[in-house]
Amino acid sequence: MIVVDLICEYKHRFEGWFASNESLESQQAAGQIRCPVCDANKIERLPSAPFVGRRSTDRAPDTTAQELSNAKALLRTLVQKLEDQAADAEDVGGEFTLEVLRIHHGDAEDRPLRGTMTHQDIDSLLEEGIGVLPLPVAKEDLH
């Protein structure tokens, strides 16, 4: 497994994980690597520091309490922002995919939506060129 730094033609940086360098090169040549921000497929590999694996007997450094606290605070902030945005979006429930397609084809007003969809729905929207971000169900929606 190799981890590489990538950048799209619009300068969005992201990380890619590949089985091998050959896998990276073949996927890149076939245009199969896409930017997670803008979905562009013109991707370049950035120079990165080599990863040197440790022996299995070496211990990984312990995460400090401060690092853990910082990570938890960042996660709380992200969850709050997502909840705030979801509160402003129209809940269309199981009609989410159909409504997104209507908006995409110009048959409905563009507006923020939330709802539910299946893995097949996600695939069909991606095939239409519509970027979606599936999020887990909120705790209060489970009760």
Render pLDDT for 77-122 as a digit per residue (tens, 0 to 9): 887 787 777 778 898 999 999 999 999 999 999 998 888 888 899 8
Render pLDDT for 19-68 as a digit per residue (tens, 0 to 9): 888 888 889 888 899 988 888 989 999 887 655 555 555 555 566 777 77
Question: Does 143 score more than 50 pLDDT?
Answer: no
> With bands split at pLDDT 50, 70 and 90, how would you rate the model's confidence at 74?
confident
Task: Write down the domain spans for the chain.
Answer: 2-45, 84-133
Reported for 94-99, long-range contacts at CB under 8 A and 24+ positions apart, including other chains, are: 96/121, 97/121, 97/124, 97/125
pTM of the predicted model as reported, rounded to 2 decimal places: 0.44
